[in-house]
Structure 1
Amino acid sequence: MDFWPEFLASSWGREFVAGGFGGIAGIISGYPLDTLRVRQQSSDTGSAFTILRHVVGKEGPSALYRGMAAPLASVTFQNAMVFQIYAVFSRAFDTSLSPNDPPSYKGVALGGVSTGALQSLLLSPVELVKIRLQLQNTAKLTESPQKGPLQVAKTIWRKEGLKGMYRGLGITVLRDAPSHGFYFWTYEYMREQLHPGCRKSGQETLNTMLIAGGLAGVASWVCCYPLDVIKTRLQAQTPSSLKYRGILDCIGKSVKAEGYGVLWRGLGTAVARAFVVNGAIFSAYEIALRCLFSNGCIQMEETI
């Protein structure tokens, strides 16, 4: 009976809940664009608008949300872990900081890199299941359609074991470690540029959160996008459709067959999604955190 009051009384508990709200806002706001991005990356099937017309016309609008349960179910814990680990690591690299000072930009970047590497252990199986569901009814996956993430996960475990569940872990770490460094550094830098002094005061406009969060998402995707394309192709493989032996083999075969442009296919969709999603994530996170720390009173200036 006393669990939630005690949990929310701790800094870790508030970070956990606020991170969950941020993650849920990000998933719901950007999932249709994520489905389009994955389909663009997996094969040369045309522009995002062409794929959108095809998906809605042939499979219905609900197909844009296929596989959302997998990331949505894990997003609270994942986002809580990401923001909490980042808070610890970003300050760990600045031993001379006082409790009221924000971490330096160096600490922010190194904290982001460490956070990205660690969160890949949780994210890799979730994204594997999500990609398999998003690519159902396409030429990429010809196996019988499955009803949901649990069925997909059980099938992968039965046929491929633990190794199959973590297919693509290496490329996920290579993608997420540097991208999270850019992600948090860009957010902290841009919010300070848009609203000088807000990193220390904690007071900023909603517009500042949305724009800084959106630009942080764009920066993190642009720096790692070719790796994300390769990750999608590696995780889309099943035991009956193995085409690539590893990261370098996938890069070589993909570029040879489709040119260097394949490494940037779907970037426009990813950037549009990144701005929307990460603006929503940081705004929901910051607002929820301030509500929890101030018992419902958001210390934020009026949005201009």
Structure 2
Amino acid sequence: MEFWPEFLASSWGREFFAGGVGGMAGVISGYPLDTLRIRLQQPSLSHRRVTAVGLLRSIVSAEGPAALYRGMAAPLASVTFQNAMVFQVYAILSRAFDSGNRNEPPSYGSVALAGVGTGALQSLMLSPVELVKIRLQLQTVGNKHYGKDHIGPVCMAKNILRMEGLRGIYRGLSITVLRDAPAHGVYFLTYEFAREHLHPGCRKTGQETLGTMLVAGGLAGVASWVCCYPLDVVKSRIQAQTNSHVNKAGLKYSGIIDCFRRSVREEGFPVLWRGLGTAVARAFVVNGAIFSAYELALRFLGSNNQRVVMEEN
């Protein structure tokens, strides 16, 4: 029983716990917009001028509001741990890249490099979760592949493993790494840069307003999505493929380059930015919530630890 108080009193424990709290806040606040993004990216809408608002109305009227949260259990359970690991790994790497500067906040160069490394590492865990999430989000009423009833994340994962094997559950890993490594570098760099300019000196003191956290986190999310969005479209299409899409030549898309070429050839370059507006709106809301919850959790744990030390003395 003594492990948890000691763990949370340490720097590692505080960053891990606060990252998990931030991850939960992000999933809950932005999941409906994520469902819209995934559906807008699919080829089935290529020949129809469907707006995010129109699609939202269609989903709610045909499937009910709960459809916007379909598949949330998988990312809510995993993103809590994944986000905890992201913030923990980022903290370790940013200090390691700037080990000679212990008394100052990490340089912007160290922040960017730590973000790239964090994004690459977390892709190993995130890729299967996103694949299951995408398959769940694309379930529609009467979908022949999944049957009449919608299935849950555990059942979906088992089905993928049974029908497509371990290779199937990790489909899209390469494109996930290509998307997340640079995106996380931009993500953390933008956050640190924005918060310092909105509240000068806060990187050193660790004290800024809630408004600064929300805006800096929101801008970080928007910047990271804008820089990687075409890769996200390709990733979503590759991971949406199931055995029902297999033809004589194999899967519809044989790889990243093939998916990119065919998507552009069949639907034009604008397809690479389809759903960007929804993604940007979601990114601002979600990442403002993530960083705010993270920073507030760190402060709460820090104040609690200070009280414990005072009581012990």
Tell me whether 236-245 or 212-221 shows the greater mean CA deviation: 236-245
Residue in structure 1 matching 2:192, options 180, 188, 192: 188
Asked whether the equivalents of residues 70 and 137 of structure 2 are also in contact (C-alpha less than 8 Å), the reply is yes
Match of 2:27?
A: 27
Equivalent residue number for residue 76 of structure 2:
72
Counterpart residue number, 1:261:
270
| Aligned counterparts of 1:221 and 1:14: Cα–Cα separation in 2 | 27
Identical aligned pairs, as a percentage?
A: 72
- Cα distance in 1 between the residues matched to 2:141 and 2:98: 49
* Whole-angstrom distance in 2 between the partners of 1:190 and 1:72: 28
The residue type equivalent to 2:132 in the other structure is: V
Contact 1:290–1:296 (CA<8 Å) still a contact in 2?
Answer: no
Q: Which amino acid in structure 2 is aligned with residue 180 of structure 1?
A: H
Label 1:140 to 1:112 Cα distance change in 2 as closer, same or farther (>3 A): farther
Q: Among 216, 226, 248, which residue is 1:222 paired with?
A: 226
Letter in 2 for 1:105: Y
- Matched residues in 1 for 2:150 and 2:291: separation? 33
**TM-score, length of structure 1 as denominator length:** 0.94
* Matches of 2:124 and 2:225, distance apart in 1: 19
> Contact between 2:145 and 2:244, CA under 8 Å: does it hold in 1?
no
C-alpha separation between the residues in 2 aligned to 1:138 and 1:122?
30
**Distance between the aligned counterparts of 1:239 and 1:38, measured in 2?**
19
Q: Distance between the aligned counterparts of 2:144 and 2:201, measured in 1?
A: 51
Aligned-pair distance for 1:95? 3.0
Deviations 1:159-190 (A, max 9, x none): 11110110000000000000000000000000
The one-letter code sitting in structure 1 at the alignment partner of 2:71 is: G
Distance 1:141 1:131, change over 3 A: farther
2:136 alignment partner in structure 1? 133
Segments ≥4 residues shifted beyond 3 Å: 138-143
Which of 97, 107, 118 in structure 2 is aligned with 1:93? Answer: 97
Counting matched residue pairs gives 297
The separation in 2 between residues aligned to 1:10 and 1:193, in whole angstroms, is 29
Residues 11-64 of structure 1, C-alpha deviations (whole Å, 9 max, x = no match): 211111111110000000000000000000013251111110110000000000
Residue 303 of structure 2 aligns with which residue? 294
1:61 & 1:188 partners in 2: Cα distance? 36
1:149-188 aligned within 5 A: 149-188=153-192
Please state whether the residue corresponding to 1:295 is helix, strand or coil.
Answer: helix
Alignment of 1:7-18 (within 5 A): 7-18=7-18
Distance in 2, matches of 1:140 and 1:4, equals 46
Q: Which amino acid in 2 is paired with 1:38?
A: I
Q: Match for residue 148 of structure 1? A: 152
Report the alpha carbon displacement of residue 7 of structure 1 after superposing the two structures with TM.
2.0
Does structure 1 residue 104 correspond to structure 2 residue 113? no
SS in 2 for 1:84: helix
Q: Secondary structure, in 3 states, of the residue corresponding to 2:140? A: coil
**Cα displacement (A) at 1:3:** 2.7
Residue of structure 1 in register with 2:309 after alignment: none
**Residue of 248, 251, 259 corresponding to 1:250:** 259
Work out which of the residue numbers 270, 282, 288 in structure 2 matches 1:279: 288
> In 1, Cα distance between the equivalents of 2:79 and 2:256?
27
Which amino acid counterpart does residue 292 of structure 1 have in structure 2? Answer: L
Unaligned stretches of 5+ in structure 1? 298-304
Q: Indicate conservation of the 8 Å contact 2:9/2:305, yes or no.
A: no
The Cα of 1:141 is off from its aligned counterpart by 7.6
**Does 2:116 correspond to 1:113?**
yes
2:279 aligns to what? 270
* 1:48 aligns to 2:52 (yes or no): yes
The answer for the alignment partner of 2:311 in structure 1 is none
SS of residue paired to 1:167: coil
CA RMSD of aligned residues (A): 1.7
Asked whether the equivalents of residues 146 and 152 of structure 1 are also in contact (C-alpha less than 8 Å), the reply is no
Whether the 8 Å contact between 1:135 and 1:141 is mirrored in structure 2 is no
TM-score of the superposition, structure 2-length normalised? Answer: 0.92
Q: Is the 8 A contact 2:123 2:180 kept in 1?
A: yes
The equivalent residue for 1:39 is: 39
Distance 2:143 2:178 in 1: 24
Q: CA deviation at 1:146?
A: 3.7
SS of equivalent residue, structure 1 residue 294 = helix
Deviation string 1:228-287 (CA, Å, 9 cap, x unpaired) is 000000000001213100000000110111000000000000000000000000000000
User: Which consecutive unaligned segments of at least 5 residues does structure 2 have?
Assistant: 246-250, 307-313
Counterpart contact for 1:16–1:76, Cα < 8 Å = no
1:140 and 1:106 map into 2 onto residues whose CA distance is 48
